[in-house]
Chain A
Amino acid sequence: MPDLNTQKTQSTAQQLASAASSEVIIDLDKVNKWYGNFHVLKDIDLAVHKGERIVVCGPSGSGKSTLIRCINHLEEHQEGNIIVDGITLDKNLKHIDHIRTEVGMVFQSFNLFPHLSILENLTLGPIWVRKMPKAEAEANAMMYLERVKIPEQADKYPGQLSGGQQQRVAIARSLCMNPKIMLFDEPTSALDPEMIKEVLDVMVELADTGMTMIVVTHEMGFAKTIADRVIFMDDGDIVEENEPNAFFNNPQHERTKLFLSQIL
């Protein structure tokens, strides 16, 4: 069994060099969560720096999705501390609401609002949560639709768009809130192969703007291109974390080796 601690210090040193800033924006400290009696997150420690791109991978049921869903409190953790953007996640609804405005999230199943047009999907949050004037919110939304390359779809409804287009709208919808952090929960898993690329392209562009991103994905090529750090989870533990080159070429842990041999 390799020494996880030395690995961690190594990788932390490496990512400190590459990350845009050394300011910690997400700090998980001994986070534990159970579903009933099932221990899904076990003593998770993780510090994410501003501008850092992290890819989380691992077999299904390993707790990856739960981990990032805890960060914007879609799931509640039972033990430990989660500090996002300087605010501790607790039962205080104001804190939760505040953190949610700062953290964007993109889901596997898009979760667009089917009864609203694309433009309304994008402006709802800015107008009602950020209290932005309507005209400004719409101009802003069109700007982000340009960025995800579907401005011509603004007046359609989500049901009229392809999966890839819907997912790009979902990314734009999160960006409209001008978040500091973006979470991606298997954003390409529900898409046809040819649509995966258009979504990944948008995500790569987003990474180039210096956005702090945590991405749960099985797209290892994508992980190699953009990740500052790759985290491998298994059975509720962070088994291995490293910068992508070392992670893919020289995995330390037996579980990681097995996992990589199966998916690469």
Chain B
Amino acid sequence: MAIITKEKTTARAAPLSDKSLIGWLRLNLFNSVFNTILTVVTVYIIYITVEGLLVWGVIDAVWIADTRRACFAISLDGACWAGVVSWLDNIFYGRYPREELWRINLGGLLLVIWMAPLWLPRVKAKVTIGLTTVFLYPFLAGYLFAGGDKGLFMQIMISGAILCLVGNTLHAFIGVFTGKGLPEFLIALLGKKAAPEKSQRNILLGILAVCFAVVYMLQMGASFETVSWTKWGGLFLTLVISGIGIASALPGGIILALGRRSKLPIIRVLSTAFIELFRSVPLITVLFMATTMFPLFMPEGFVLNKLTQVIIAVCLFNACYMAETVRAGLQAIPQGQYEGAHTIGLGYWGTMGFIIMPQALKHMIPNIVGSFIGLLKDTTLVSIIGLFDILGMLRSISRDAPWLGLHKEPLVFGAMLFFLICFAMSKYSRRLEVKLSTDHKH
């Protein structure tokens, strides 16, 4: 029997799509009577909470005033942001001399210039750039911030850092425009492309030595006024402590983790004891130990300033946490990778450096960034032992005569600042993860 359609089927409207806003709302928030009620109640609760915040923080807030009293005169219920605004310099830089603030800003700018090539396409040798950031930049920045007399060691390190900064930047420009590295470019420029590898290397070393000598002569004349560490403070101090902590935690953690997995019993026992000791003590205890007990163990006359002690304590503490993260990452690498590496003749360091670590670190990115964020927040504990980091600064606003009792606003501001920094770090780690896993497709 044949089937004959009697009438033409009329076209109907498409079903609700959950891609459109209305469709999504209808399907997810208003799809039954009960859910509709829930939605309305929730929206009301959100409204009364946010409204309060909005009225306090924005609508009734006072932005410009000279004292807290003046704030109250304008609005009794609003936030007194004027206090935070007038203290902004203190919050960011602490009591660093105002006419020397450019040194901090320059230090930050140099770091940006130094690290920018890491994110530029076509630039080679990014690992080297990253390593120089960790090992050379701190000397340059340290002198910039602290000033004073330069010892021979500092002179050498500063010259190296300046040379490296210039080299990095040139290397990045050349990389972006030609896709070559700096050494390759120099060799081509001198027309020595055909020369054997050894003489090419000698030429490059010669250029390097001459440049180093020139930079060394130039930097000898320059020197900065000393700024005592007691004047360092605010966000600047927080970033200095956590920056050094972050930069040293990973290398330190890798060394400790390898030590803990070592076949040599002494190294293994020492690493394990060290890690477990620091991990079982709260950071604040370690900080107190570092500032009060540590000098007792040292020979007489051996005096480190409080900031240095705190930085050492933070570095060791975080290296131990990082060590456990790294160890977990190492354990995720199958035995076959070690065997594969051994069969092409790689020894211990070759196996670790080329095969195991690159894979393990990739797995560990979320955890590493997690501990970096934790580290940044933990450094606020130094305010308890009397350093005026950002938290210390925020809290001292309430003790400043014109702003006496102003607690809430500075802390809310601090919370927002921390959220901004930490959220950015966590977002970036997500991107890094996605990028690395698409790079290698497996």
Contact = CB atoms under 8 A, between A and B. Distances in A.
A177 B344 contact: yes
Contact of A125 (B197, B337, B339, B344): B344
Contacts of B344: 100-101, 124-125, 129, 173-174, 176-177
8 contacts: A74-B342, A93-B347, A111-B343, A113-B359, A114-B359, A157-B441, A159-B440, A174-B344
Contacts of A35: none
Interface residues of A, number: 31
Contact of A107 (B340, B346, B347, B354): B340
Contacts, number: 72
A113 B197 CA distance: 29
A72 interface: yes
Interface in A79-120: 93, 97, 100-101, 103-105, 107, 109, 111-115
Contacts of A74: 339, 342-343
A113 B355 contact: yes
A133 B347 contact: no
A115 B359 CA distance: 7
Contacts of B347: 93, 97
A189 interface: no
B340 A129 contact: no
A114 B359 CA distance: 8
A250 interface: no
Interface in A34-80: 72, 74
Contacts of B346: 124-125, 128-129
Determine chain B's interface SS by DSSP, over half rule. helix
B350 A128 contact: yes
Contacts of B337: 111, 113
Interface in B330-369: 336-337, 339-347, 350, 354-355, 358-359, 362
Contacts of A125: 344-346
A177 B343 CA distance: 10
B442 interface: yes
B442 A177 contact: no
Contacts of A170: 340
A114 B440 contact: yes
Nearest to A99: B345
Given A128-B354, A159-B442, A72 B336 contact: no
Interface string A160-171: 100000000010
Determine chain A's interface SS by DSSP, over half rule. mixed
Contacts of B350: 128-129
B336 A100 contact: no
A115 B358 contact: yes
A111 B345 contact: no
A158 interface: yes
Nearest to B355: A113
Contacts of A100: 342-345
B198 to A, nearest CB: 11
Given A125-B345, A128-B346, A113 B340 contact: yes
Interface in A136-193: 157-160, 170, 173-174, 176-177
Contacts of B442: 114, 157-160
Given A113-B355, A114-B359, A115-B358, A101 B345 contact: yes
Contacts of A111: 336-337, 339-340, 343
| The 4 residue pairs across chains A and B that have the minimum distance between CB atoms | A159-B442, A125-B344, A111-B340, A101-B345
A170 B354 CA distance: 17
Given A129-B350, A158-B442, A97 B339 contact: no
